[in-house]
Every structure is written in C-alpha cells, then in structure tokens.
Amino acid sequence: MKIPEMAGEQVWLRDFARWGYPDWFRIVVGIAELVSFLLLLVPPVAGIGAGIFAVIMLGAIFTHATHNEFSRLPFNLLLLIFSVIVIYVRKPAFKVRPAFCCTRTLNDSAIAKWIESGIGGLQQYRSQQKV
C-alpha cells in the first residue's frame, strides 16, 4: 500500500537524499515533528514538545550549516529560539519535585519542635535573628 503523496514531498525526498540521510530518517523526522506539535497543544506537556522540536531544529541547523545552506539558517534559528522560550515558560514540566522534608519550614517540622522543647538553642538563634 502506497502512502498518498503530499504537497512538496518530492522536495523533501530530494533534499534528504542530497544531504546523505536515508529515506527512513525523513519519516522519523516527520513523525517527531508531528508528535512535538501535538504535545505543544497540551499545556502540561508543551515543554516536552518544545524540547523535541528544539532537538529537531538543532539537527536542521547542523545539516544546513554543514551543507553551506546559510540562507535557511535564520528560520531554523528563529524556531529554535521560540522552542527555548516555550521550554522556559513551561519549565514546571521538567522540574523535579523536592523531597517532602524540603517543602516544609523549620517552624512546622516535628524535629524543630523537639529541638525547641529539649535544647532551646533554636530559640536563642531566632531571638538573635530578629534583632
């Protein structure tokens, strides 16, 4: 079964062959672009989609730069910049959540209460800090 031809498909076939990439790589790049586009539509995972697209743009920039196609670089650089902006704005998707002990303040923890009642050193420290 043959996949229906898309507009401009011959151009991409020619370009990927000229760059020395195998035909399957063109399909992988297309699927990665489609996946990144779909992920960009879902806000919680938009940063991941932008990250995938940034990798694709880095590959495109490398390909165009090594084949003296400098006229194509500005557009790829612009798309890379936009991807990095989305990654930065959506960085909570990449954040590692801190451990439970790090999310609580010292005043609320059971250990701090134990230290205050038993040693009193924490109270002295706090009174010095308020001065």
Burial of 95 from C-beta contacts in 10 A (0-12 / 13-18 / 19+): exposed
Q: What's residue 57's pLDDT?
A: 97
Q: What is the mean pLDDT of the chain?
A: 79
- Cα separation, 115 vs 9, in Å, equals 71
Structure-token pair, residue 25: 């790589």
- pLDDT band at residue 12 using 50, 70 and 90 as cut-offs: confident
Taking Cα atoms as reference points, which of 57, 51, 66 lies closest to residue 18? Answer: 66
Instruction: Compare 127 and 21 and report the one with higher pLDDT.
Output: 21
Residue 25 has pLDDT above 60, yes or no: yes
Mean of pLDDT values over 6-17: 82
Mean of pLDDT values over 113-122: 53
Q: Mind listing the pLDDT tens digit for each residue in 41-94?
A: 998 899 999 999 999 999 999 999 999 999 999 999 999 999 999 998 887 655
Domain ranges of the chain: 9-93, 100-130
Burial of 57 from C-beta contacts in 10 A (0-12 / 13-18 / 19+): buried
Q: What's residue 91's pLDDT?
A: 76
